[in-house]
Structure 1
């Protein structure tokens, strides 16, 4: 009887546009697990949009920034904050950053220092295509989160996810070409899916971008113009 009532309620919420009410309740039930079930949280994020109030928390779990044992979260995040401050202070001491340094660039320098990849010619290094993804991800994450420490660690988590997908690029490209023929332009909540380990969402992102910029791209006469349009989609849309 209780199951029938819940199914009726779920159906009603979905019909009147309040499906997210049930999704939020389902997530709150999952968050009561001790320890947290990472597989269930991943499945939820792949299927639904994570409510904004829980997004950074879920991302930290899925990106392995904090463990599944909630009682350890305070201690772990304190350690993450100490690491953040140590890296930040080190870059200040050697004169690589100051109060005017853009945060995406600062995060990239911190990450390079942390991973032992920071070079003497760091100006040229961070402007290379190899680190463009990190800057873009950090910029986007900063627009969604207010906490600098969380933003840094989550940016690192996403770049780790993206790095895992490098070998899948040829296959994803084929998927994009296949979907372009169908002109399926539905765009999902990208970051929730990416945090859950789904690289296929990038196919839909590329697809929507190409379809949205279709008119501008068809006017391009050189490869350089095409790349410029793809790198600055909002500028082309304004035009």
Structure 2
């Protein structure tokens, strides 16, 4: 059988759902192991898209919300819920946010700020730079999952890992420059000559893992890779986003206009960008991280 025929069959099987069925069965087998093998689960996330029915559970395992010892999961989650409830009650005592009808995302952000010691008396959602990345991530997770305790703890652990990663943001930015120059040298040259690339909020995009930047239905496949340990995929995502929109970006004169252009792309385009990103990342050997995976506190 030729390579082209094999590729055609693979695409056909994926479209009719055979591939996803096999991946689901493989994941179910991994989740039956005792104790759970987190290395294998990370490898699964790096190779495949996690089925929605298992995503919250797998992410909690890989982000250290629950341990690999299954028999104590109920006890651990009861402790997680107790801490969540205590923080939520604290908001009521402090009357933060002032509006009781404030969205969950803002309340969860205030709870996060209490935990990190960054809550101030002049608390303002839009102006508190310490929690904006957390806020964006929570908004996306609220779109994916239903359990408030799971959402808060996944966001908390993910943000703790990102905080440890921030010292390597310059490496991610350098990787983005290198990839852009390699993939589209003429476009890269234009960006550099006009001083646009250095003005783009790459560090902010990395800080929130592109939450609120690209459509939330699409970036979840990128977050599977991040939970698997590959934070460097964010550099690939930045590269593919910019090169895909290069025909529009070359006509823009400032970084704010470019940011608005990216945030306004339709879901279909965002999905194409995410799929291209994963393909490029896999083509380059699927590098796991910029450094060793951050250990959650």
**Mapped partners of 1:28, 1:208: distance in 2:** 32
Task: Please say which of residues 107-116 and 128-137 is displaced more in the overlay.
Answer: 128-137
Query: Is the Cα–Cα contact under 8 Å of residues 173 and 203 in structure 1 kept in the other structure?
Result: yes
* Deviations 1:144-174, CA, capped at 9 Å, x for gaps: 0011111111111111222222122222222
TM-score (normalised: structure 1)? 0.82
2:235 corresponds to 1:203 = yes
- Cα distance change, pair 95–134 in 1 and its aligned pair in 2 (3 A): same
- Cα distance change, pair 84–178 in 1 and its aligned pair in 2 (3 A): same
Which residue in 2 is equivalent to 1:213? 245
Structure 1, unaligned runs of 5 or more: 1-11
* Deviations 1:98-134, CA, capped at 9 Å, x for gaps: 542122221111011123221222217x624443211
**Mapped partners of 2:252, 2:10: distance in 1:** 46
**Mapped partners of 1:167, 1:213: distance in 2:** 29
Q: CA deviation at 1:227?
A: 4.2
Task: Please say which of residues 13-22 and 196-205 is displaced more in the overlay.
Answer: 13-22
**Mapped partners of 2:131, 2:241: distance in 1:** 21
Query: Is the Cα–Cα contact under 8 Å of residues 161 and 194 in structure 1 kept in the other structure?
Result: no
Which residue in 1 is equivalent to 2:13? 16
Task: Give 3-state SS (helix, strand or coil) of 2:124's partner.
Answer: helix
Q: CA deviation at 1:57?
A: 0.3
Task: Please say which of residues 147-156 and 221-230 is displaced more in the overlay.
Answer: 221-230
Q: CA deviation at 1:199?
A: 0.7
Which residue in 1 is equivalent to 2:223? 191
TM-score (normalised: structure 2)? 0.67
The total of aligned residue pairs comes to 222
Which residue in 2 is equivalent to 1:8? none
Q: CA deviation at 1:217?
A: 2.4
**Mapped partners of 1:162, 1:210: distance in 2:** 22
Q: CA deviation at 1:26?
A: 1.2
Q: CA RMSD in A?
A: 2.6
**Mapped partners of 2:220, 2:88: distance in 1:** 35
Structure 2, unaligned runs of 5 or more: 1-8, 185-218, 270-297
* Deviations 1:188-236, CA, capped at 9 Å, x for gaps: 9211111122111111221232134324422322344334445x3448x
Which residue in 1 is equivalent to 2:124? 123
Which residue in 1 is equivalent to 2:194? none
**Mapped partners of 2:51, 2:255: distance in 1:** 40
Which residue in 2 is equivalent to 1:110? 111
**Mapped partners of 1:114, 1:129: distance in 2:** 15
Q: CA deviation at 1:15?
A: 5.8
**Mapped partners of 1:205, 1:94: distance in 2:** 40
